[in-house]
Amino acid sequence: MTDFLANSSHRLFQRPGLGLLRCILLGVTLLALSSGCQNEQDSDATYEEAPRPQQLVQHFQFHRDIKPILEQKCVACHACNDAPCQLKLEAASGLERGASKHKVYDGSRAEDIAPTRLHVDGHSVQDWRQQGFYSVLSTPGQTQAADAKASVLMQMLTLGYQNPVAVAEPLDERYRLGITRQSQCPTPDEFAEYADDNPQGGMPYGVSGLSANEFNTVKTWLEQGAVIDQAPTPFTAAQQQQIQTQIETWESFLNQPDMKSQLVARYLYEHLFLAHLYFSDIGVQPTPFFQLVRSYRNAPEPIEVVATVRPNDDPGRPIYYRLRPITDTLVHKTHIIYGLNDQRMQRYRALFLQQDWQVDSLPGYDYQHASNPFLAFAAIPARARYQFMLDSAEYFTRTFIRGPVCRGQIATDVIRDQFWVMFEDPAQEQYVSNEDHRRKATPLLGLPGEKSHILDLGSEWLKYQNKRNRYRDLRTRQYHRAFNQGLSLNNIWDGDGHNNNAFLTVFRHHNSASVERGWWGRNPKTLWLMDYPLFERTYYELVVNFNVFGSVSHQAQTRLYFDL
């Protein structure tokens, strides 16, 4: 990010030999790919789902008795994209979906793989069986008692219960911890061998296990058929009506038929699809959260999610923006919140809809527009787009500091343990305020990663590196003309005197990172001074266009471009 270092005279620091270094990096990537391809042994098996025999008398209910145990003892690991064996226990549907031998994060695969997002890429247990997931609740062909005993879940819990972790002692060296640990995902037929080889490999892994009461509760529930009851609603009829009114208000706002409103709605969706949205005006407890999704059906019909890989991929036919309730257990990694209220809607209207601008035609979802949001949304005033992001700078910074892209040292080793973030004042930011500069810069602001085949890696990298370098030179000349005496503190956005998103602190915690409002700690060694093109490009490169199921080519392009 040397093109945007906080340097008052905007001098660019040149790095001798960087071209050679990048060539070496590309060569190493190709060698790693070759090694990864040779060792790849992912299973392509599909599984059948046998009905689980269920007893008429049920002593325990899933949501009342079982879910709290999973939340206390299992969900900390078995959630998000990092869930071992893709066994996601933050939702009942994840438990029913089961486990898979395929990895989500894989830095060595030659091609993109089909995504396996819970609630999106499969809509029934049988859908998931056809995608290689196998049951952890039952074993086909067994009697009811034998079925529960032979299930992967029961065998894992039993192995952990019989081999507990020593209390108040250092963890046995046989336990392998960390996100790079090689997970083993045994099916019921493979479990006996797994247990012989890994007596310490029961669940919960490496932590205090289930109490006798918890173990017997889960055991009885499994023996009686592992019935998953309907989740009770925590809201009264009056509260449900309040929530529904808010849903209808926002869905109506986002689905206006005129082209100006459609373009703004698409811009809002691509910037809020990752958020956990809540209605801050109504004060309902517990707070209900929602995800903004694209749907092929409009209200009042049920939501039919558009299951594209990226939020700016072509949906193929007309879509509607809908608010889908989040019923999963909330976990810190994905719980990046964003409030909706009347004040915010009025802000949207003032920023976008009440300004004097026109849309002659809506942008497509083709490569040219998907890789360059500055081109796709060129009709929307740049000042409005930048101010929209500044209004909620903490949220947007969190999406790429804490979101799916930020996982492991490959992601976090590009940032310091502690640094500050600030933003250029929109009144003086040159892309926003200078139309001629904006016209010249926009074609150069595209982002790599859309073409992810391994053979595209070299050509795509060189193309976008060249565009970035041309933009860097263009920007340098423009800032020298506009500020020939250098920048001052007046060029830094102060939040208009009231917005505490203006100054942020990022903390790195080895494999992960977090964002806080305000400047914390001592003066850092580095800081980010972000203008609109850098802020928007960072968001699109690391959030919108990043594919966790992508190939080594896609991930290398993303990582190398961010390092410029």
State the pLDDT at residue 162. Answer: 96
Spatial distance between the Cα atoms of 479 and 476, rounded to a whole number of angstroms: 5
**Number of neighbours of residue 359 by Cβ within 10 angstroms:** 15
Look up the domain containing 424 and give its range: 366-564
Calculate the alpha carbon distances from 472 to 7, 10, 422 in Å.
14, 11, 20
Q: Are residues 202 and 339 in the same domain?
A: no
* Residue appearing with tokens 């793989």: 113
**pLDDT tens-digit series, residues 308-340:** 999 999 999 999 999 999 999 999 989 999 999
pLDDT average, residue stretch 423-434: 98
105 vs 257, more confident:
257
Q: Which helix (H) or strand (E) holds 517?
A: strand 512-517
Percent of the chain beyond pLDDT 70? 87
Quick check: is 229 in a domain?
no
pLDDT average, residue stretch 381-389: 99
Q: Are residues 523 and 447 in the same domain?
A: yes
State the pLDDT at residue 44. Answer: 64
Q: What is the DSSP letter of 208?
A: -
Q: Are residues 513 and 424 in the same domain?
A: yes
176 vs 196, more confident:
196
99 vs 5, more confident:
99
Using the 3D structure, point to which of 362, 377, 394 is the last residue of a domain. Answer: 362
Q: Are residues 395 and 282 in the same domain?
A: no
Quick check: is 410 in a domain?
yes
What's the residue count for the chain? Answer: 564
Quick check: is 21 in a domain?
no
**Number of neighbours of residue 541 by Cβ within 10 angstroms:** 23
> 144 falls in which pLDDT band (50, 70, 90)?
low
Using the 3D structure, point to which of 332, 362, 392 is the last residue of a domain. Answer: 362
Phi, psi dihedrals of residue 232, rounded to the nearest 5°: -70, 150
List the single range of 77-86, 138-147, 185-194, 399-408 with lowest mean pLDDT. 138-147
Q: Are residues 389 and 294 in the same domain?
A: no
> 167 falls in which pLDDT band (50, 70, 90)?
confident
pLDDT average, residue stretch 348-359: 97
152 vs 44, more confident:
152
Query: What is the token pair recorded at 209?
Result: 């296990």
Is there a contact between 108 and 36 (Cβ–Cβ < 8 Å)? yes
Q: Are residues 344 and 378 in the same domain?
A: no
Angle between helices 393-401 and 532-539 (to 10 degrees): 40
3-class DSSP assignment, residue 360: coil
Q: Are residues 380 and 398 in the same domain?
A: yes
Structural domain tally of the chain? Answer: 3
Radius of gyration of the chain (CA): 26
pLDDT average, residue stretch 218-223: 95
Using the 3D structure, point to which of 362, 378, 410 is the last residue of a domain. Answer: 362
pLDDT average, residue stretch 115-141: 92
Q: What is the arrangement of strands in the sheet containing 276-279, beginning at the earlier edge strand?
A: 320-325, 290-295, 276-279, 337-340
Q: Are residues 347 and 374 in the same domain?
A: no
State the pLDDT at residue 67. Answer: 98
Q: Are residues 315 and 418 in the same domain?
A: no
Nearest to 549 by CA among 195, 105, 128: 105
3-class DSSP assignment, residue 361: coil
pLDDT average, residue stretch 116-130: 96
Q: Are residues 558 and 526 in the same domain?
A: yes
Calculate the alpha carbon distances from 49 to 42, 137, 451 in Å.
21, 10, 36
